[in-house]
Amino acid sequence: MKTGLIRVFGLVVLAMLLVACGGSSGTTPAAPTAATEVISGTAAKGAAIEGTVTAIAANGTTVSVTIGAGGSFEVEVTGLSGPFMLKAQPSNGSDPVLFSYAAAAGVVANITPLTNLALYMANSNADPASLFDSWAAQAADLTAQIQAQQAVIKANLEAQGLLSGNGLANGIDFFTQAFAANSQGLDAVLDALSVDLSGGINIAIADVANFSFNPQIPTNGFDFNTSLGDNSGEGGTGAIPDGEFGLVFKADGTQFTRTVTTPIPGGIALAITGLGDERFLAFNSSGILDQLRMLPINQTGTFICGQGPNSFRLVEIWLGLENGLHKADVNGGSCTIVVSSVGSIYAGTFSGVVVSADGNSQVTISEGEFRVDGSSL
């Protein structure tokens, strides 16, 4: 017995000496834990959606999570590969199921009537639910088509001033643009829309009468070197001819003419749109959006860009130039708008410097004139 105890003691001492001398203890280090991967976003139709979000990976694996406060969600997709399709299932059972798309993990992927519309259009104007059910077979083929349909939707919205009018840039991606369900920015756009896909594309926009969605609308912006309109003007831009309404101006010396014979309320052509006691004149044609914004109703005088009652309702010029939106004051430019007539004809002049959203280019506006039928004010 004594000899056995000595042997055991000796082995213990030997093991301790090996450790102390740097010998191996035989323990294998734990493998590093894979980083958690998620897709997050907001599920809202204007108001936040309550319910669940389900993400389906490219291999058909699904993961679900309960939607949080304000429509926010975060679904873990660790180890799964994109592209992903997402489904927001409202808990009330009466609101429609909405779908969206995420190219990969680690991105924002909102679920809204706009994302659902893009998936509907990418699915040849069919219920996106059929895409979700067969996602593993179709996931890789739809990215380009989804983005192309998003461009069509954005062009239709911007033709009504809905994006720029809510402080959103032309390049916004409504799939990945982070937002809150607070009736501002992208959520304000959602508040203004009613999208019904039960019998084709039926979209209504608040305060826009007889809106018609145009699936063929141009999406490639406006060519700075191309002028629209039917009158070239003489001696500069010249006066807008009798019986016509619109804007004429020079941008870096190049003349632009935007005229129509009949202004159409609601922003389809040249529109006067009311926001409280203020107005903006918007010319929308072929995807172009030009605006003289927030002109006080029935008030002549000189107005300087940047003046206004709050950060959104500022006197401003927005012009669609060089394949993008250029703004005065907001992007670092400046302008002056002079309202000379507020009777049966609402008319005046404007000039200034408009700057691109990225600040990389600016255009000098001169000899600008506007005129519209003032009877509808």
pLDDT (tens, 9 = 90+) of the chain, 377 residues, equals 444 544 444 444 334 433 444 433 344 444 445 588 999 999 999 899 999 999 999 999 999 999 999 999 999 999 999 899 999 999 988 889 999 999 999 999 999 999 999 999 988 899 999 999 999 888 777 887 888 888 889 888 887 888 888 888 767 899 999 999 999 999 999 999 999 999 899 999 988 887 888 886 766 443 222 222 333 333 334 567 777 777 888 888 888 877 777 655 443 344 455 555 566 777 765 455 788 888 777 788 898 988 876 666 788 898 877 657 788 887 788 999 988 887 777 888 899 999 887 777 888 999 888 887 766 55
On whether the CB atoms of residues 353 and 250 are closer than 8 A, the answer is: no
- 93, exposed or middle or buried, with CB in 10 Å at 0-12, 13-18, 19+? exposed
Token reading at 357: 């959203």
CA distances from 225 to 18, 250, 355 (A): 82, 12, 17
Token reading at 186: 């992208």
Cα–Cα distance measured from residue 316 to residue 307, given in angstroms and rounded to the nearest whole number:
8
Cα–Cα distance measured from residue 331 to residue 346, given in angstroms and rounded to the nearest whole number:
27
Cα–Cα distance measured from residue 249 to residue 231, given in angstroms and rounded to the nearest whole number:
12
Domain borders along the chain are 38-205, 245-376
Q: Please name the residues in contact with 233: beta carbons below 8 A apart, sequence gap of 6 or more.
A: 239, 248, 255, 257
Cα–Cα distance measured from residue 220 to residue 48, given in angstroms and rounded to the nearest whole number:
32
Question: Locate tokens 């014979």: which residue?
Answer: 261
State the greatest distance between any 2 C-alpha atoms of the chain, in Å, as a whole number: 122
